[in-house]
Structure 1
């Protein structure tokens, strides 16, 4: 039994980057055939976008923008050039955001994530993600079948009927949320049902804290985590190395400072931005609103793609101070005005019955003049006055938080 899904997972990282960026111009041309991308990328020469630096110049498309865009131009906001009927399935997620499933094999890129979790051809998989209108159930269903597994399309809930299926078919694998896996195991134990055939799991869609990981492992199930979205499918996945998550193939993942499209320094926490190389339904710099950080070096499992720490919170830290919205991009603008600054964090508190804010800024060149200049920029950008505190480089937490609302 091979240790990896295919040879692409272990190729030299430089070769992978060269492959991704040699394919990107054609994907950009396909994207720009759609009216919304044509407008957003106006003036861009696809042939010139052949590096991460060139990609970072392109505007980000925030997932939080999609509901309004999809309502204005149904069904896909003008970001898909081909007709809806050219896809295999059509879904919706809350917002609404409308998501199509392609006709190709493994359209959600999940087979290699299942393989990394120990799933193999001819395994029977109990898939408990929802099959109703949203893509979740079909993401894992299509991925398992692409791997050669048989799928029980169980969906969530109805534990008694699921026990009948488990006892009859004896599935070796489970896909679903970690919460529902615990519910199934608890209900089986209390009712004397046999679910002992389940030996491995790929879980997603909810937190999987160490305490629950230990409980699931103690019950004889080897469970792995995956990170994905309804727009892109599986983005990154855990491997037997248990050191972060390996980014999936055919995706370009960037980590940017929240509120901007600017890549963070290596190891810094920032917002996940993904570009997919599917010319039928490309995503160009889709900012997911989720935080993570890159891990150095390749995984001990032998996979050489970029590794991330996994989900580390939300990047959308917009808050309201004295009736005015303050957004991460405003804090980023202050940083751009003062080259001597490193990390910034706006801390919002209450003083008596009044909102108050303090901008903490890392700098190695603290001075009264710089203090006054930053205070002036803070007022000019946010239209509100606030205190400024200059701190030494490395004093602010590396957690991606630009605005900390402590009220």
Structure 2
């Protein structure tokens, strides 16, 4: 059995770059049919954008800008030329940001990531990413089915029903956050449920430190990380080599100095910027706000594409908690809904390998009722459960930081 999804993964880097940059001008012309891209490309001869150096001269589109752009020109901020009704599914993610799914067999380009994690045609996958409004569940569902796997659309939570499905269908693998995988394993051990069929996993959406990786391995689950977004699908994925993440095919990844569009030297930490070549919904230099760095050399697994070190933090204060992005704008919204509060700071930590967020809010008076009201607002705005602590006015630092991610990426 082959160790690679297709021949694209093992072609020479020069052959890959020649292919990508020969196709790039066509993708840019397709993007320019949308009014927002047409405005950004004004005065640029797109036929000349045939190299990394030329691409780096195009303006960066920051993901953090998308909520305001989408609100000003709904639904997609003028960056999509096709009508919304021409797409397969329509989603939203926190921000809000609105994402269309292209009607295709593998719309999120994830089948090769599923393959690299050890899944093969005929396997059964338990998919615990959410299918409700956000695209996460459908990204992994469509990717696995494009490979030829059967998918149990479990979604998050409902552990008792998840156990019934696992014991009945005996899936060989899991997709979801590493946190929920640990919950399933821990609960199964305590209650005597049999989930021993799960031998491999494709995880994303939350921190996966080495301590948790080692624990999963010791418990018989071979778990692979991948990096993706609700806008782009799968950007890079882990292979059996366990050396960084291999960049997906048919996309162009740059690492740039945060706050700019200037590429950094290989090995330097910078912000991930992605350009896709899908003519139906191209993205041109989308800056994700996530930090990473290029790994030198090629992967021992035989795949020849660029490798990145994986997620190394945020270039801005936006962070990911239990698979959902939390943004400074959302913390500001909580303040608007509770004008009696002063400064707010959301602190994200980990407890027993699970993400935990705590909102500290300055307030001249404290009380259980107000704390519960703020907690309810936090849950409504972020779609996540969190703790709330009311503190005295002036006790939080005056440094402009709304979100402090204090998790260790060890």
Q: TM-score, normalised to structure 2's length?
A: 0.77
Gaps of 5+ in 1: 320-353, 357-407
Task: Provide the rounded CA distance (Å) in 1 between the counterparts of 2:162 and 2:113.
Answer: 24
Aligned to 1:151: 151
1:192 is the counterpart of 2:192: yes
Q: How do 1:204-243 residues align onto structure 2 when only pairs under 5 Å count? A: 204-243=204-243
Task: Provide the rounded CA distance (Å) in 2 between the counterparts of 1:187 and 1:281.
Answer: 42
Shift of 1:41: 1.1
Aligned to 2:17: 17
Q: How do 1:324-343 residues align onto structure 2 when only pairs under 5 Å count? A: none
Aligned to 1:258: 258
Aligned to 1:137: 137
Q: Computing the radius of gyration over CA atoms, which structure comes out larger, 1 or 2? A: 1
2:254 is paired with a residue of what secondary structure? strand
Shift of 1:355: 8.2
Task: Provide the rounded CA distance (Å) in 2 between the counterparts of 1:211 and 1:317.
Answer: 25
Aligned to 1:3: 3
Moved over 3 A (4+): none
Shift of 1:46: 1.2
1:9 is paired with a residue of what secondary structure? helix
Q: How do 1:338-357 residues align onto structure 2 when only pairs under 5 Å count? A: none
Task: Provide the rounded CA distance (Å) in 2 between the counterparts of 1:111 and 1:292.
Answer: 23
Q: How do 1:3-402 residues align onto structure 2 when only pairs under 5 Å count? A: 3-316=3-316
Gaps of 5+ in 2: 319-327, 329-396, 400-410
Shift of 1:105: 1.1
1:5 is paired with a residue of what secondary structure? coil
Shift of 1:317: 6.2
Shift of 1:44: 1.3
Deviation per CA, 1:290-318: give whole Å up to 9, x if none: 00000011100000000000000111269
Deviation per CA, 1:342-387: give whole Å up to 9, x if none: xxxxxxxxxxxx989xxxxxxxxxxxxxxxxxxxxxxxxxxxxxxx
Task: Provide the rounded CA distance (Å) in 1 between the counterparts of 2:207 and 2:398.
Answer: 32
Task: Provide the rounded CA distance (Å) in 1 between the counterparts of 2:153 and 2:266.
Answer: 41
1:253 is paired with a residue of what secondary structure? strand
2:205 is paired with a residue of what secondary structure? coil
Task: Provide the rounded CA distance (Å) in 2 between the counterparts of 1:270 and 1:52.
Answer: 16
1:141 is paired with a residue of what secondary structure? helix
Shift of 1:266: 1.7
2:104 is paired with a residue of what secondary structure? coil
2:215 is paired with a residue of what secondary structure? helix
Task: Provide the rounded CA distance (Å) in 1 between the counterparts of 2:165 and 2:27.
Answer: 43
Shift of 1:104: 1.1
Shift of 1:257: 0.4
Q: TM-score, normalised to structure 1's length?
A: 0.78
Deviation per CA, 1:176-215: give whole Å up to 9, x if none: 0000000001111111100000000000000001111111
Task: Provide the rounded CA distance (Å) in 2 between the counterparts of 1:84 and 1:285.
Answer: 22
> How many pairs align?
323
Let me know the Cα RMSD of the aligned residues. Answer: 1.5
Task: Provide the rounded CA distance (Å) in 2 between the counterparts of 1:43 and 1:136.
Answer: 37
Task: Provide the rounded CA distance (Å) in 2 between the counterparts of 1:215 and 1:239.
Answer: 19
Task: Provide the rounded CA distance (Å) in 2 between the counterparts of 1:85 and 1:46.
Answer: 28
